[in-house]
Chains A and B, each alone.
Chain A
């Protein structure tokens, strides 16, 4: 059993890592002249239960553990990791990582002080990891029944519940030791609808740093299911999407993936230090319409993208990226903040002990405006209204980004008319927010399903958006 409340004690007891071990390992890591070093211990249990064909026939439990040692010297990073958490392997990894620093010269001794984060954004009385398998099975069976009840054209349902319990301990050469317990739960489902030889799918889900009860609260699991089923059935009647540049209205919540791709990645500190982002050197300039204020906030309780401390031990924060259209800030990790003389923002994140941290987003969203969603839609003569998306991607150097709609409609003469097939929308990051002419008062955060990939590392994130109107974005349909 994992003692959820005492991660530091857990690591000390399970692996025999004392303060002396940690201080010695940091000493070894910094034996050559380095600027900084840290140790990242991780113990993660992931339980997954999946349903298809009406049966919960798959259950799994995945336990991973490891330690990653990082040494920074100037712009250089040495990184070594091992899944063998012993005093000998920690020392070995520390010496290996330390070779990045080429100058010989002793490091000052490090004295480590223990600490827990000053706040707990996800203190759960019953962590989702405590969920019993019968409870999980009952939940997924209810999902299956609800989808089939929603519409007889739903022919198959695939659903899964994935629950993660992660203990981390971060020890830095600044002498701080911080540990955290990071629960994470996600319920997702895909419904396949079939009618007269036409098949379509709908996908939905959500979660966060939440207990199992979150899914049952107000029958949230059934609401998610109806959304997936509704989308699958709706798309059976979808017509071909138009092609070309037109006015696009994005609905609230998950369409905030626009911000993640169009501006978020381009504002990460590493690309800007290197000058490879289309947003490099634009700090203080206008990159969006005055209606736009965009923030990255890792401190919202229980959100999927939230953390008490980032994966370098820095408390997360709320960072204003764009304020009334003006670019105000970048997202930083230790390496890039130090090299550019910028403040830490608590955005140094990593997928696991096997990866070194990078500047990453947490929960990224636009603040609410004044318009009602109805008046925004009414203002459009011809365009697209997109309310749900699959994934997105960006080329941070050219600034071009895409995101792919999975639920979208035509707007004709101010009215939402027919559903159109999914299409990719493409635009230019430094330019697209300047075309936002209306911002709704209906800010919503997504349900908690986002995973962001960068340089081969995946981390959970959140996005949010009020309804917005973009005057001109290229819609990649087939009807030229």
Chain B
């Protein structure tokens, strides 16, 4: 099997030329300042189900996002039309749009002195990403699914396995004279087997992700993990409504950090939509909790040499031994809060920059996951959460859960159709054990966590 060689994307100097050109057009149209981002990516994915090829996808895209300022007024645009005429029209339209919006003195580009000055290689790119091998992709997906299905006779069906790879170039320039770019790649392998027993079905999922193909977990190992996760859910039942300790597996513990992230990003604070509003310097979590955002981890899934406004990324301690030490800010939210940007600006092409975590993690503790489970007399180990039951303003938390019931320090049986509820502020304060199993499987990571007490609703 072969695949046609993809249309070559634009070369770095062509991307740079498009950015500089649209900034010029914007300036000529009357913009007092502007910045622009260009993202070009090529992606390939192979899906396999029950051993057969199910889907091959080949993608090529490029998009340019422009932000212009006319004094204290601003507007945004996105386009895929990179012809000179297209760029000129986009710039003129956007400047015209900006003239009609209302002024906001906090808007604008960063101070020139704050801009990143040196290029840095954070080990984000693997050349292999730009040259997909369909045979290899199919083989990896097949191997992962086959290993999953072979791991237990009750695994008789599957939603399939998928291998995907993406190669991207990100370029950014502004009228301050900043002009930079970098490449990044990502490889992903996921499997979702289905187990059947006594006429009831369960599914679960496991995956691997890496910026370098050679560092991607072995396909068979990914498959076996997916199989084991699925089979252990068979025979799940409900438990009675009660209060009990709740242990979050590392994979779901990361979701608690995502909720925390949405409460410490600048826009949530100046808008008043964060349960951590006004708590800087206060104790907001157990002394066992230290949370760090590090944009410069080599090979990190959330690493980038500079942020979406041209500021160097950095390492920011968000929570230190339970105390809220810093928010995560972009230039605008920092100005609104009277603080300095932490280099956390991110932007979807065509949207305004806003603050977002880079690589956010809860530092590993000293207790093994096994010891954490053994410490629970009666409680819940959560292995999957569903739903959106989190109120960002109050921190009120109520989500559907799947997991394993713990009796006398041992896994007793699987549970489902229950919810766990509490308040995020209290939950972070009630963390009484932190696992030693921190692994970066994405840009947000946490080890196994135990929360002293939550409400479990069931039968």
Taking Cβ atoms with an 8 Å cutoff, the residues of A that contact B are 52-53, 55-66, 75-84, 88-89, 92-93, 95-97, 99-100, 102, 133-134, 137, 155-156, 158, 190, 192, 194, 199-201, 241, 243-245, 274-276, 278, 354, 356, 390-395, 397-398, 400-404, 421-424, 426-428, 474-480
Q: For residue B456, which residues in chain A have a CB less than 8 angstroms away from its CB?
A: 243, 480
Q: For residue A356, which residues in chain B have a CB less than 8 angstroms away from its CB?
A: 55, 57
In the assembled complex, the Cα of A416 lies from the Cα of B56 at a distance in Å of 54
Contact A82:B7 (CB < 8 A) given known A354-B61, A424-B387: yes
Q: For residue B104, which residues in chain A have a CB less than 8 angstroms away from its CB?
A: 53, 55, 57
B21 touches A (CB below 8 Å): no
Nearest 5 pairs of A and B residues by beta carbon: A476-B419, A402-B387, A402-B400, A424-B389, A60-B76
In the assembled complex, the Cα of A333 lies from the Cα of B335 at a distance in Å of 50
Residue pair B398, A476 in contact (C-beta under 8 Å):
yes
B241 touches A (CB below 8 Å): yes
B366 touches A (CB below 8 Å): no
Across the interface, A400 reaches (CB within 8 A) one of B94, B97, B416, namely: B416
Q: For residue A99, which residues in chain B have a CB less than 8 angstroms away from its CB?
A: 1-4, 56, 134
Residue pair B61, A393 in contact (C-beta under 8 Å):
no
Q: For residue B97, which residues in chain A have a CB less than 8 angstroms away from its CB?
A: 59-61, 133
Residue pair A76, B421 in contact (C-beta under 8 Å):
no
Residue pair A83, B61 in contact (C-beta under 8 Å):
yes
Q: For residue A395, which residues in chain B have a CB less than 8 angstroms away from its CB?
A: 203, 386, 402
Taking Cβ atoms with an 8 Å cutoff, the residues of B that contact A are 1-4, 6-7, 49, 52-63, 73-81, 90, 93-94, 97-98, 100-104, 107, 134, 157-159, 194, 200-203, 233, 236, 238, 241-243, 271-273, 277, 350-352, 386-389, 391-394, 396, 398-400, 402, 416-423, 455-459
Q: For residue A427, which residues in chain B have a CB less than 8 angstroms away from its CB?
A: 417
Q: For residue B80, which residues in chain A have a CB less than 8 angstroms away from its CB?
A: 63-66, 83-84
Q: For residue A354, which residues in chain B have a CB less than 8 angstroms away from its CB?
A: 59, 61
Residue pair A476, B157 in contact (C-beta under 8 Å):
no
Residue pair A480, B243 in contact (C-beta under 8 Å):
yes
Contact A64:B78 (CB < 8 A) given known A275-B157, A422-B391: yes
Residue pair B81, A63 in contact (C-beta under 8 Å):
yes
Across the interface, A276 reaches (CB within 8 A) one of B59, B79, B203, namely: B203
What is the distance, in angstroms, from B8's C-beta to the closest C-beta of chain A? 11
What is the distance, in angstroms, from A328's C-beta to the closest C-beta of chain B? 22
Across the interface, B100 reaches (CB within 8 A) one of A84, A137, A194, A392, namely: A137
Residue pair B391, A201 in contact (C-beta under 8 Å):
yes
- A49's closest neighbor in chain B, by CB? B101
Residue pair B394, A200 in contact (C-beta under 8 Å):
yes
Across the interface, A393 reaches (CB within 8 A) one of B107, B350, B352, B386, namely: B386
Residue pair B419, A474 in contact (C-beta under 8 Å):
yes
Q: Which of B3, B272, B389, B392 has the most CB of A within 10 A?
A: B389
Residue pair B7, A89 in contact (C-beta under 8 Å):
yes
Residue pair A83, B62 in contact (C-beta under 8 Å):
yes
Across the interface, A244 reaches (CB within 8 A) one of B90, B101, B458, namely: B458
Q: For residue B400, which residues in chain A have a CB less than 8 angstroms away from its CB?
A: 393, 400-402, 424, 426, 476
What is the distance, in angstroms, from A16's C-beta to the closest C-beta of chain B? 14
Residue pair B60, A82 in contact (C-beta under 8 Å):
yes
Contact A398:B7 (CB < 8 A) given known A60-B350, A354-B59: no
What is the distance, in angstroms, from B37's C-beta to the closest C-beta of chain A? 13
Contact A80:B387 (CB < 8 A) given known A478-B455, A479-B455: no
What is the distance, in angstroms, from A70's C-beta to the closest C-beta of chain B? 10
Q: For residue A479, which residues in chain B have a CB less than 8 angstroms away from its CB?
A: 455
In the assembled complex, the Cα of A316 lies from the Cα of B257 at a distance in Å of 42
Residue pair A476, B389 in contact (C-beta under 8 Å):
yes
Q: Which of A60, A88, A194, A477 has the most CB of B within 10 A?
A: A60
